[in-house]
A = this chain, B = another copy of it.
Amino acid sequence: MTPELEDLFSFLRFPSVSTDSRHAQDVRACAEWLLAKLTAMGLTTELHETPKHPVVVARNPQVPGRHTVLVYGHYDVQPVDPLNLWTSDPFQPEIREGRIWARGATDNKGQMMAHVLGVEKTLREHGELPVNLIFLFEGEEEIGSPNLASFLLHHCDELRCDVIAISDTGMVAPGVPTLGYGLRGITCCEAILRGPKGDLHSGLFGGAVANPAAAMARLVASLHALDGRVAIDGFYDHVRPLEDWERHMWSHVPGVSDADYLQVTGSPGLFGEPGYSSAERLWARPSAEVNGIGGGYQGEGSKTVIPAEAFVKLSFRLVPDQTPKDIMEKVKNHLEWHCPPGVQIEIRPGHDGKPYLTDPNSKYGLAAQAALRAAFDAEPVLIREGGSIPIVQTFRDILGADTLLLGLALADAQIHAPNENFPVVNFEAGIRLNQALLAELAK
């Protein structure tokens, strides 16, 4: 195993699950390991406390007149359940079939570590970097970066930069370099319906008392029209229509045909808003998804109860010019208005983030295209992303800099799911990409 893979494996072994308070010490240990690695590379490092998980910052000696590039990443990961569906331990990385298998392998430890090791290599080869570099790594991305905006506000002078680079997005197909210029936003909530004060016997009370699980089914069903459109009043009001050049380019991007999505997801059939291709639905149209639903008996066999309550966890992906605040207001109105009789509703808003859009042919955008071309020896494609990195909009708001999305995540990387993986060749290309990117941005 190469020293680079050994570094990545050490990084992956930390169960830095930010969403689960039982893992708080693991998240911290991961940050401290990262700090030590960056310090050993000769960078000036800082560990900043936040109310939850620390931020790690590292810099090379800053030379006046050079461009300043901020590379952002996150060292926290998603939960791993259902654990029984993993082929190998999510926190004991393994290489099988040319891929690294572990939670965080792609999202985001693998992609982030490629930047770190690209910098290490350039420093080893040239003794210095061609730009002023700022590494900014946080431990709260998977819980919506609740403390990063405040951190940026308090440190905006030291973090001032010309451009930001992030590798935390998708690559459309193996070997096809991909520049992302847009992201969907997000807003989340949980709704709880409460009926009887405790679970009831469904024989003694069934048919005379509202069933919170049945009421939840009716409420959730009201979110979509039969044809796949989101049925929340005003949901599409501020959606910016697709440009003609985008529809044209995307129809030629490899790896994102309807057949590709069927193959990658294993779904029995695609389903969504009428009038759009799958890529268009994912990159430029908003969505409403059920992330979790539950209520009543969950075990083996049957238990004939009317549950006392039921819950649903919902998330909505947003596109320009929707705003999380406006959409959550519309969602709340919808859920309250459509709540069936006989139950009481509680709505708990969750994290959110604005959608993002920039120009892929700006000066820095063209530099990123050149670096991608060099690292992969192929022509890059220009896409938007279905996922959300709310911090990208926050960077623009606070630091005034735009972000280049140099994605290395394949569609079957299983991020946020069991058996997350990252091809070894993408890890190696990511190291080359970092070296080429800093060189191109220095011009």
Interface residues of A (CB under 8 A from B): 19-21, 78-79, 81-82, 85, 143, 170, 184, 186, 188, 190, 194-211, 213-214, 216-221, 223-224, 261, 265-273, 278, 281-282, 285-287, 289-307, 310, 312-313, 315, 317, 340-344, 350-351, 385-388, 411, 414-419
Contacts and interface: CB of A to CB of B under 8 A. Distances in A.
Contact of A143 (B19, B294, B301): B301
Given A208-B278, A216-B217, A293-B295, 10 more contacts: A81-B299, A202-B416, A205-B282, A213-B293, A214-B223, A217-B220, A269-B341, A271-B341, A290-B295, A297-B313
Contacts of A197: 265-267
A27 to B, nearest CB: 14
A194 to B, nearest CB: 8
A414 B204 CA distance: 10
B196 A265 contact: yes
Nearest to A217: B220
Given A202-B315, A217-B221, A282 B207 contact: yes
Contact of A79 (B211, B303, B415): B303
A422 to B, nearest CB: 14
B198 A302 contact: no
A313 B317 contact: no
Contacts of A388: 203
A282 B202 contact: no
Nearest to A85: B198
B19 A301 contact: yes
Contact of A317 (B202, B281, B340, B418): B202
12 contacts: A79-B303, A194-B268, A197-B266, A198-B419, A204-B386, A204-B387, A207-B282, A208-B270, A210-B271, A214-B290, A221-B221, A290-B296
Contacts of A298: 292, 294, 298
Contacts of A294: 293-295, 298
A58 to B, nearest CB: 28
B416 A199 contact: yes
A19 B298 CA distance: 13
A140 B319 CA distance: 55
A203 B216 contact: no
A433 B189 CA distance: 55
B267 A199 contact: no
Contacts of A194: 268
Contacts of A313: 296-297, 302-303
A196 B304 contact: no
A439 to B, nearest CB: 30
B203 A387 contact: yes
B416 A207 contact: no
A305 B293 contact: no
A206 B305 contact: no
Given A301-B143, A315-B304, A224 B214 contact: yes
B291 A202 contact: yes
Contacts of A351: 302
A298 to B, nearest CB: 5
Nearest to A266: B197
A414 B196 CA distance: 12
A315 B241 CA distance: 47
B220 A214 contact: yes
Given A79-B303, A198-B85, A293 B271 contact: no
B315 A19 contact: no
Q: Which 10 A-B pairs have the closest CB atoms?
A: A197-B266, A203-B387, A207-B287, A217-B220, A292-B296, A271-B342, A292-B297, A210-B271, A213-B290, A221-B221
A191 to B, nearest CB: 12
Contact of A289 (B184, B214, B218, B278): B214
A210 B19 contact: no
Contact of A200 (B202, B300, B340, B417): B417
Contact of A304 (B188, B190, B214): B188
Contact of A209 (B198, B207, B261): B261
A301 B266 contact: no
